[in-house]
Amino acid sequence: MGKSNGKSEDKNAGLDLEHELPPGDGDETAVAEAAREAPAPESELQKVKAERDELRDRLARAQAEFDNARKRGIKEQQEFRDYAVADAVKSLLPAMDSLERALQAKSDATEFRNGVELIYKQLQAALSKLSVNPIVSEGEPFDPHYHEAIEVVETNKAPDHHVIEELQRGYKFKDRLLRPAMVKVARNPGK
């Protein structure tokens, strides 16, 4: 080993001998053998392309499935809306049948009135079954959430700001107001 500039030289220093290619002496078989051992970049590229194509296909299928589920949900909601009142209408049909029979009957006024009262009770029962209930108004304090004041009447016969007459009945569906009651409200004179 020789010295140069005060440092010793080692020919193999800094080389990775394990991964070093053998010296080329013009032998083509060694190069071909090394190429066979290393994976071909084209076959690896083909694998990556195949995986990409598979992932694209899965994504397209997932998107189509999601779109179909969304369309199916919209269709089901529309059908529900279209046929939601079917049960309500079905419960009102017996009252309609009774009205038709009452109109066809040839009878006196009392029998006719009794028939109409029966129909009224049928309608009340059908509405009650559907959770539609009348708002009790007469004699109650005026509530702007449930009553619509049509007229204010000066009177001493009822407490101030109380409903003295119901002109049109109001209705609630469960806890929601369907229609406010049209009422006359008392106002005591001198106040």
- 3 state DSSP class of 18: coil
Mean pLDDT of 8-36: 56
Residue 92 — pLDDT band, cuts 50, 70, 90? confident
User: What are the φ and ψ backbone dihedral angles of 93, each rounded to 5 degrees?
Assistant: -65, -40
CA dist 19 and 158 (Å) reads 109
CA dist 132 and 176 (Å) reads 9
Q: Which of 161, 146, 149 is nearest to 191 (CA)?
A: 161
Whole-number percent of the chain with pLDDT over 90: 42
Question: Would you tell me which CATH number, out of the four given (2.170.130.10, 3.40.190.10, 2.30.22.10, 1.10.3210.10), belongs to the domain 131-191?
Answer: 2.30.22.10
Is residue 53's pLDDT more than 90?
A: yes
Q: What pLDDT, on the 0 to 100 scale, is given for residue 20?
A: 59
Q: Are 163 and 129 in contact (CB under 8 A)?
A: no
Domains of the chain, by residue range, sit at 37-84, 87-130, 131-191
CA dist 17 and 49 (Å) reads 35
CA dist 147 and 41 (Å) reads 83
Q: Are 128 and 174 in contact (CB under 8 A)?
A: no
Residue 160 — pLDDT band, cuts 50, 70, 90? very high
Top pLDDT among 13 and 83 is at: 83
Per residue in 112-147, pLDDT (tens digit) is 888 888 888 988 888 888 888 999 999 999 999 999
Residue 177 — pLDDT band, cuts 50, 70, 90? very high
CA dist 118 and 48 (Å) reads 80
Q: Are 169 and 181 in contact (CB under 8 A)?
A: yes
Residue 28 — pLDDT band, cuts 50, 70, 90? low
Q: Which of 188, 146, 189, 137 is nearest to 165 (CA)?
A: 137
Q: What pLDDT, on the 0 to 100 scale, is given for residue 190?
A: 72
Write down the number of H helices and E strands in the chain. Answer: 4, 8
